[in-house]
Amino acid sequence: MLKNYFDLIRVPQWIKNLFVFVPLLFSMHFFESDYFIISLKAFFIFCLASSFIYIINDLVDLEADANHPKKKNRPLPSGKISKKSAVILSVVILFIFFGLAFDTNVEFKYFLTAFVILNVLYSFYFKHIVILDVFSIAAGFSIRVLAGAAIISVPISDWLILTTMFISLFLGVMKRHSELEQVSQSTTVSTRKVLTDYSVTFANQMATVAAAGVVICYALYTVSPRTVSVFGTENLIYTTPFVVFGIFRYMYLEYLNQKGENTTQIMLTDVPMIVTVLLYTLTTVLIIYKII
């Protein structure tokens, strides 16, 4: 039973909430315990908020998921957890994460509320509207970063926000591309209604634009006068190859191996991607904190 509830609240998907630590990493306070604990609290709050949204989404898509070859095995459509239990759990989680956010600053509360409202609207409406569905996903990641900056009261570069937005758009588009490929290969797969408004060619073009946006915005962030002034070094540009490799690796996994639908699985199982993320983080820390 415990595993079923873990599956319902999507614990592996919590990795996406690591975006709240991005402002901490670039704030020059990464090794200060007070800042880290506050950011960790924000991470846990967003994990609970995400789980609340996943339950709402599963309740909304219950009938469609029951007819899907893979999603039918989820706790709700399979009947392992009842609708009543799911509703009760969602209400409990809602009260817990808003309770934890009670003593945070006002700006963080605004971003948290915006995150919840955006994702509820996505579950009911936005995910059925072409392009807006992908932008809604991207907005969710951007809100995580902004909330991470708000809770520790530090400014964040506009270039870094744009980089986050393009990364989110890229991941969302690659997910749609993967779903479209599955549809083209099988006539028995139940799909999202919005996929009828997409095509593989259009998804490819969007992915190319988003990937270029990630690389360009991040490169400009590393050499911007504000970045060089704050960190006192121009060496951050040497972290750009890790970003480029990560983007290319993800495209490779999707276009050649069709693994782009599950971002979490890629980040947790693909060794080259894991090594790239670790090397990027290590190099960034060494440069920003002048360890080298």
For position 191, what pLDDT does the model report? 56
The residue from 156, 184, 202 where one domain ends is: 156
What pLDDT is attached to residue 64?
A: 78
Same domain, 242 and 97: no
Burial class (CB in 10 A: 0-12, 13-18, 19+), 137: buried
CATH code at position 6: 1.10.357.140
Q: Are residues 272 and 217 in the same domain?
A: yes
Segments of the chain with pLDDT less than 50: none
Query: Would you state the pLDDT for residue 184?
Result: 66
Tell me what pLDDT residue 238 has. 95
Task: Give yes or no: residues 61 and 185 share one domain.
Answer: no
User: Domain boundary at 156, 177, 198, which?
Assistant: 156
Size of the chain, expressed as the number of residues it contains: 292
CB under 8 Å to 111, separation ≥6 — which residues? 143, 146, 147, 150
**How many Å apart are CA 10 and CA 47, to the nearest integer?**
9
- Considering the domain architecture, whether residues 77 and 29 belong to the same structural domain is answered as yes
Integer Cα distance of 229 and 227 in angstroms: 5
Which amino acid, one-letter code, is at 90?
S
Domain boundary among 156, 180, 197: 156
Indicate whether 110 and 172 sit together in one domain: no
- Please give the pLDDT value at position 280: 96
- On whether both 141 and 80 belong to a single domain, the answer is yes
Same domain for 103 and 220: no
Tell me if residue 200 falls in helix, strand or coil. helix
Q: How many domains does the chain have?
A: 2
Does residue 149 sit in the same domain as residue 20?
yes
Q: Which domain holds residue 173?
A: 157-292
State both tokens at 25.
């990493």
- Same domain for 67 and 187? no
Quote the pLDDT of residue 185.
64
Give me the helix-helix angle, 33-60 and 83-100, nearest 10°: 150
Could you tell me if 171 and 212 lie in one domain?
yes
The pair of structure tokens assigned to 85 is 């239990």
The pLDDT value recorded for residue 97 is 93
Q: How many CB atoms lie within 10 A of CB 205?
A: 12
